[in-house]
Structure 1
């Protein structure tokens, strides 16, 4: 089995990317940061769909303006290319898959932009929001991040219910364990951990315990494997990434594992050797073949599992 052929003939979905943050940081000096700097790399890497995250770490008013600015910049660039579209509904998804376009799924990494106004979720949903985490690493109105204590607030629980009502996928990456279990106690639909790894392989606060993995599986959800937190930083490699991937395939099953790389080399962070950016995504396909996984399993990991989540929430 030729890995490049299999990769090219698979639906490949990256469940977590900070492209909007890069666009925001470069908007004054680069008039088309997505079209010029990201679209060619996504095409080279064979990425069909990527979850793009609005990320802000400001006070509510500043976060709201920053998030809306990011959305505005995304809309503006998409008006200038026919090669990529924002996926808001099943029609958009089908267009991406049938016409070989790059599909963007709008997500929110932390609900800071909506402050304590849950009604703003409807506004962002109208703009295309289809996925979101409650918080990042710190406490906000809704939940505590992994470096804080305490679970979901009453407002956070209400936000989860509103996200499910709107068909916005609940993403539990970055939550601490108490908040995670609060989410599990109230969700009724599949959830994801868009960019999280296995704590049993590397004991890091950002990684998931076996019990958390199984709880996500019980919702019929998906765990996207992150390119970070695979081992001590000086030991991280494509091989350590694959250790997490194989472990999660073993305990979660082939229907519940995907890719959520969190590539950040364009923001100045280092990347794993042989997995530095999205152009190297096919190396995961190569490794899965080398390690004896069948084609059906590989295609599920590359994108079909996340595709199922999308098909479940798009109208």
Structure 2
């Protein structure tokens, strides 16, 4: 049997949810902060063996403030990428192939809530041109498009139009943070694979942010992927690699090996202590070790580590 570190190093590893742009915004202009992407995040990602990461904008302001913050976050990522050859934005299948062949860390631009769009659907086209390739309609609260897990109600007419536009453009629909009514509205609309970038199983731990069995199976039926989150695996003080693995194995059994991935939501750099033994991306090889120790095949482990999310990207990205 292959050593777990050798297997990890020889696998393509994807983290489907990261708040790196928010951290870059917070550090922008702070004396001595430097290029935080290059000085902090890329070294950690390399140490954890991460090849590709979904980097999401996140705003919780009024629409004009959210729009400004999102644009600043994106511009800061572009600026810092100009100063390194180690990472690149993934906008097309060709970009993905280049990142793989040249062993560069790929960044997929995502949006955690469409507050920056306000009620102007045309701004989705603008963000697409800036590189947006994955998006959630909302975070935990209601906006013009949908309601998050903390509120009731399905998609608005504008929300349904946004989903159709995302599908037409080639933006992955991400259902993490969405409530159940909105989720099933999306299932009725989509033709492409959808993802839950950072969600776990409600049957294992009954938290509003986790997915029901029916939701998990519906995502799999679209050809999509559920990215396992490092949080909401157990009562906060009990979260651990063991509770994380319970969710991973449950969803793996329910959805199948082609529909499970990783979306840790590491944010120790924003002040979170993180889950025990999964505090930051340098700990991802522990998941590989756990999977190997539990008897999963190398091919199944490679799918979970990243191949499943790569499949979805290749299905939706333009040539």
**The TM-score by the shorter chain falls in which range?**
over 0.9
Give 1:91 deviation, angstroms: 1.5
Partner of 2:269: 266
In structure 1, how many angstroms separate the alpha carbons of the residues matched to 2:93 and 2:213? 33
Q: 2:220 and 2:235 mapped to 1: Cα distance?
A: 27
Q: Hey, what does 1:5 align to over in structure 2? A: 6
Paired residue secondary structure (1:298): helix
Deviations 1:157-195 (A, max 9, x none): 000000000000000000011111111111111000000
Looking at structure 1, the residues matched to 317 and 221 of structure 2 have their Cα atoms a distance apart, in angstroms, of 21
TM-superposed CA distance for 1:272, in Å, is 1.4
List alignment gaps of at least 5 residues for structure 2: none
Instruction: Establish whether residue 148 from structure 1 lines up as the match of residue 151 from structure 2.
Output: yes
Partner of 2:284: 281
Report the Cα offset of residue 260 of structure 1: 0.3
**Aligned ranges for residues 36-185 of structure 1 at < 5 Å?**
36-185=39-188
**Aligned equivalents of 2:181, 2:29: Cα separation in 1:** 41
Q: CA RMSD in A?
A: 0.6
Aligned length: 315
* Distance in 1 separating the partners of 2:29 and 2:272: 21
CA contact (8 A) 2:193 2:222 kept: yes
User: Among residues 193, 197, 200, which one is paired with 1:194 in the alignment?
Assistant: 197
Query: What SS does the corresponding residue of 2:287 show, helix, strand or coil?
Result: helix
The residue matched to 1:66 in structure 2 has which SS?
A: helix
- For 1:35-79, what per-residue CA distance to the aligned partner results, in whole angstroms no more than 9, with x for missing partners? 111010001000000000000001000000000000100000000
Contact 2:192/2:316 (CA < 8 Å) preserved in 1?
no
- Distance in 2, matches of 1:221 and 1:89, equals 19
1:76-95 Cα offsets, whole Å, 9 max, x none, are 00000000000011121111
Tell me by how many angstroms 1:210 deviates.
0.2
Q: CA deviation at 1:24?
A: 0.5
* Distance in 2 between residues matched to 1:21 and 1:210, nearest whole Å: 32
What is the match of residue 23 of structure 2? Answer: 22
Residue 295, structure 1, aligned to residue 298, structure 2 = yes
Structure 1 gaps of 5+ residues are none
Distance 1:261 1:25 in 2: 21
Q: Which residue of 2 aligns with 1:33?
A: 36
- Write the distance in 1 (CA, Å) between the matches of 2:274 and 2:71: 29
Q: Structure 2 CA distance, aligned partners of 1:260 and 1:19?
A: 13
Matching residue of 1:228: 231
Runs of 4+ aligned structure 1 residues displaced above 6 Å come to: none
Q: Scaled by the length of structure 2, what TM-score is found?
A: 0.98
